[in-house]
Amino acid sequence: METLTGTGDARDFRVGLVVSTYNDFVTNRLRDGAVEALRAAGVADDAIVVAVVPGAFEIPQAARRLAAFGRVDAVIGLGCLIKGETPHFEIIASAVAQGITGAAMDSGMPMTFGVLTTNSAEEALARAGAGTSNKGWEAAEAALAMTRLFRQLVGPVDPEYKG
């Protein structure tokens, strides 16, 4: 039995980050965590592309465009939604999750969901702290693992496959 693990070197990877400026007191920390994880894996600073968007709703659009841009191997979406008194939170959270999923499936590129969906600013800040428990760090690690895995999954491609 062959097992593909998504392990290996990441020094030649180029990674795109799409970072929302809404709730930037949290998203800046997520970005910093993701960049730290990429650097720890050996990704060079000049191989990290950061696209800044106004809100979480715009993350999938920019992720799709980054994938089409062709200069990155993976895209990490980083944002922060804090629940309020209206259903806006649920609508945006669902749209962003579905949008990133759709962009990943359509592009065939690894994309990860580093968008916090929390009940309070305190919960968000707790998930954007320093170190490996930072959700930006975790999203970066997932993107690296998926990029490694995708590089192991090379071979003839069936043009009729719509998976």
Q: How far apart are CA 70 and CA 132, in angstroms?
A: 29
Instruction: Name residue, tokens 């039995």.
Output: 1
pLDDT number for residue 8: 75
pLDDT number for residue 158: 57
Single out the catalytic residue among 42, 88, 98, 129: 88
Over its length of 163 residues, how does the chain's per-residue pLDDT go in tens digits?
888 777 778 899 999 999 999 999 999 999 999 999 999 999 999 999 999 999 999 999 999 999 998 899 999 999 999 999 989 999 999 999 999 999 999 999 999 999 999 999 999 999 999 999 999 999 999 999 999 999 888 765 555 555 4
pLDDT number for residue 63: 98
User: Is 25 exposed, middle or buried (CB count within 10 Å of its CB: 0-12, 13-18, 19+)?
Assistant: exposed
- Assigned superfamily of 15-152: Lumazine/riboflavin synthase (3.40.50.960)
Q: How far apart are CA 50 and CA 17, in angstroms?
A: 5
Q: Which of 1, 2, 8, 48 is nearest to 149 (CA)?
A: 8
66 is catalytic: no
Q: For residues 116 and 26, is the Cβ–Cβ distance under 8 A?
A: yes
pLDDT number for residue 160: 59
Task: Return the domain boundaries, the chain.
Answer: 15-152
pLDDT number for residue 7: 72
Distances (CA, A) of 153 to 3, 132, 146: 11, 27, 10
